[in-house]
Amino acid sequence: MKKSLLLALLIVFSCKKDDSSYSLNISKNNMGVVNYETGKHPIGETIILEATPDEGFSFIGWHGEGLENPTDENPLTVVLDSNKSIIANFVNIENPDFSDMGIWTDEIYSSIDFDFKNNFISVVEAFVKDAERYGLDLSYVLDGDIEFITEMDIGAAAFGIGMCQDNRVKILWKENIYQDNLDQIKMGSSTLYDGVEDVYWAYHYVGPKANERFYGDVPGMLLTLYHELGHDILNYSHTCLDGQLVNGLDACIEGACCLEKGMKSFSWYSNDPRFSFRAAVKDFFEGVNQICQEACPNYLEWEGICYAQ
């Protein structure tokens, strides 16, 4: 009897001991150091994680189970209120490869076939699913005509031609720009413009110190497609505001016109509203800081989103 009671107490004690701690597992993409070794800690313990890139690399952000959102906060404060698995992401500055990072960890974006010429429907389907996350039903788009074409002799990188037509999506893309972007998919942002110098324009640092931030992990091809689908499907005009996917050179707001190039590089991890892809997409589908295209026939604005009725 005493042995049975002792065994029962040991089992209860053992269970309580296991319940009193959580594990924090840290892994890395590419070359860098995190000041932490994987292990267990008491529930509620606060841990400060700091990522330091190796020479030639830059730290771009954290993601993983246990983080509410991806973030480029560094150092990062983690409270152990559950088991957590966090990935520190570093990128080679001279030869960036963002495989298994950022948008490629999201099931909607990773499902896109960027060979738009042969499978353009995949990006439109992803666009519709992305809108659903923000309560916007664009499913009607999939019932219409969907077309993607490339030509050399157009004045811009791309155009949304089906604007104001609910039963049609038609995107025109400049052929050489399309090929340049297609070659750079997992390499981050590539040029949206002509010229050799612009190819590297999207790989840049911002902030007061060199190597403080490295943005451009969202492909220029995706940024351009969302930009043009914003024109085509949502009937948005260009805006001059930072951090918006429909930013453009020809936009003027209250007499102030854009003085810089259009869309900047965006990062999946950035907390800076000027460069946060996640914040830009949220604004995009919720109609925040967007300008409706008043030239559309039977123009109507409903809950901040433009529709051609």
The residue count of the chain comes to 309
Q: Which pLDDT band holds residue 206 (cuts at 50, 70, 90)?
A: very low
Residue with tokens 């983080």: 67
Cβ contacts of 295 within 8 Å, gap of 6 or more: 164
Is the pLDDT assigned to residue 219 strictly greater than 70? Answer: yes
For 292-308, write each residue's pLDDT tens digit: 776 555 434 434 444 43
Exposure string over 280-307, b if 16+ CB within 10 A, otherwise e: bbebbbbbebbbbbeebeeeeeeeebbb
Which range among 33-47, 126-140, 252-266 shows the weakest confidence by mean pLDDT?
Answer: 252-266
Q: Model confidence over 83-117: pLDDT tens digits?
A: 999 999 998 887 888 888 999 999 999 888 888 88
* Model confidence band, residue 260 (pLDDT cutoffs 50, 70, 90): low
Q: What percentage of the chain reaches a pLDDT higher than 90?
A: 29
d(CA 47, CA 121): 45
Could you give the 3-state DSSP secondary structure of residue 306? Answer: strand
Strands (E) in 233-277, as ranges, are: 236-237, 252-253, 256-257
Beta-bridge mates of residue 299: 308
Residues 6+ apart with CB under 8 A from 159: 171, 172, 173, 228, 231
Helices (H), the chain: 2-19, 107-110, 116-119, 121-132, 175-182, 220-232, 277-286
Q: Are 67 and 138 in contact (CB under 8 A)?
A: no
Using the predicted structure, report yes or no on whether residue 73 has a pLDDT greater than 80: yes
Question: What digits encode the pLDDT tens for the residues 51-60?
Answer: 999 988 889 9
Quick check: helix, strand or coil at residue 39? strand
Can you read off the two tokens belonging to residue 215? 């943005």
- Going through the chain in order, the beta strands assigned E by DSSP cover 21-29, 32-34, 39-42, 46-49, 51-53, 57-65, 76-79, 84-92, 145-151, 158-160, 168-174, 204-205, 214-215, 236-237, 252-253, 256-257, 291-292, 299-302, 305-308
Tell me the one-letter amino acid at 1.
M
The answer to whether 201 touches 132, Cβ cutoff 8 Å, is: no
39 pLDDT above the threshold of 50: yes
Structural contact between residues 113 and 119, judged by C-beta atoms closer than 8 angstroms = yes
Which pTM was predicted?
A: 0.80
Render pLDDT for 166-187 as a digit per residue (tens, 0 to 9): 778 888 888 877 777 777 777 7
35 CB neighbour count, 10 Å cutoff: 12
